[in-house]
């Protein structure tokens, strides 16, 4: 796979990996910060009795009131400003008339476009007190993401990221979903390269300074297999086991990695606020 300076290519997927300079990092910091702030404010909203449609309303109104746009809204026909994935829903859960109840766990995935840059992040929210197995799943999933991020540096590979995640998760008797992956982003929602959450050290795409992408492992308590429901979007575990996901947008720097979507209130790390 080849690389190209982002300033020298069009805003479309070309099969090349775009390398961004200082202005790109500045744009991603602004977009990532607003996305993280939106997710922070959702922490005060997610409680038993809340309709998932109200989460979607909040994200849409938050975006518009901050001169941003929700990237998922009308993306490939998707009619919502966020994804709300509850319990055994792996990803792309559609907001609606589902009411959150005590003991649920829900992932909220938000991507905000700010001045043309995409800030993409998701977090898990416990709904009231939750079972210890659900807490453990959330803890393992967060740690898996952070281990993947810690593997990012110039000269490393996408396989190093996947290996860092897989080698941590599987000894916990949990599984890594294979059907979905992280992705390049910047001034596009989905770009090169794909970031697979399993892998072998040294394999895959070499990382270079200026690459932007997401790391967003989906971890199941049961087996890794998923299926897509008839709505064409919602992915669930085939064995109906609990699933969790965390996601950050990151950039490869000259010496390591920068996370663009860190929580201002430190609410993205379980136990929340710790």
Question: How far is it, in rounded angstroms, from Cα 259 to Cα 201?
Answer: 22
CB-based contact 122:218 (threshold 8 Å): no
Reference 109, options 265, 211, 214; nearest CA is 214
Residue located via tokens 């810690």: 150
* Sequence ranges of the binding site for a divalent metal cation: 109, 120, 183, 216, 247
Q: How far apart are the first and last CA of the chain?
A: 41
Measured from the Cβ of residue 114, the count of other Cβ atoms closer than 10 Å reads 21
CB-based contact 195:158 (threshold 8 Å): yes
- Asked, as a colleague might, if the bond just before 4 is cis with ω within 30 of 0, I would say no
* Sequence ranges of the binding site for substrate: 92, 190
* Sequence ranges of the binding site: 92, 109, 120, 183, 190, 216, 247
């Amino acid at each position: 796979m080849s690389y190209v300076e982002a300033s020298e290519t069009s805003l479309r997927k070309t099969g090349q990996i775009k390398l961004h300079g200082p202005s790109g990092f500045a744009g991603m910091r602004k977009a990532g910060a607003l996305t993280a702030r939106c997710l922070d404010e959702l922490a005060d909203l997610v409680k038993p009795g809340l309709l998932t449609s109200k989460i979607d309303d909040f994200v849409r109104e938050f975006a518009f009131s901050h001169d941003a746009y929700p990237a998922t809204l009308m993306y490939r026909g998707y009619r919502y400003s966020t994804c709300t994935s509850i319990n055994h829903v792996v990803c792309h859960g559609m907001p609606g008339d589902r009411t959150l109840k005590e003991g649920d766990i829900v992932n909220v995935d938000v991507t905000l476009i700010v001045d043309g840059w995409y800030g993409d992040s998701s977090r898990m929210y416990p709904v009231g007190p939750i079972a210890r197995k659900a807490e453990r799943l959330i803890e393992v999933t967060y740690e898996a993401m952070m281990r993947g991020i810690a593997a990012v540096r110039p000269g490393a590979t996408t396989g190093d990221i996947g290996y860092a995640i897989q080698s941590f998760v599987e000894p916990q008797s949990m599984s890594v979903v294979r059907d979905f992956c992280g992705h390049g982003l910047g001034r596009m929602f989905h770009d090169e390269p794909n970031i697979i959450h399993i892998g072998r050290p040294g394999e895959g795409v070499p990382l270079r300074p200026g690459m932007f992408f997401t790391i967003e492992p989906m971890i199941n308590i049961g087996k890794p297999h998923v299926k897509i429901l008839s709505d064409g979007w919602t992915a669930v575990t085939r064995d109906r086991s609990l699933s969790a996901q965390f996601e950050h947008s990151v950039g490869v720097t000259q010496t390591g990695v920068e996370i663009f979507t860190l929580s201002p209130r430190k609410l993205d790390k379980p136990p929340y606020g710790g």
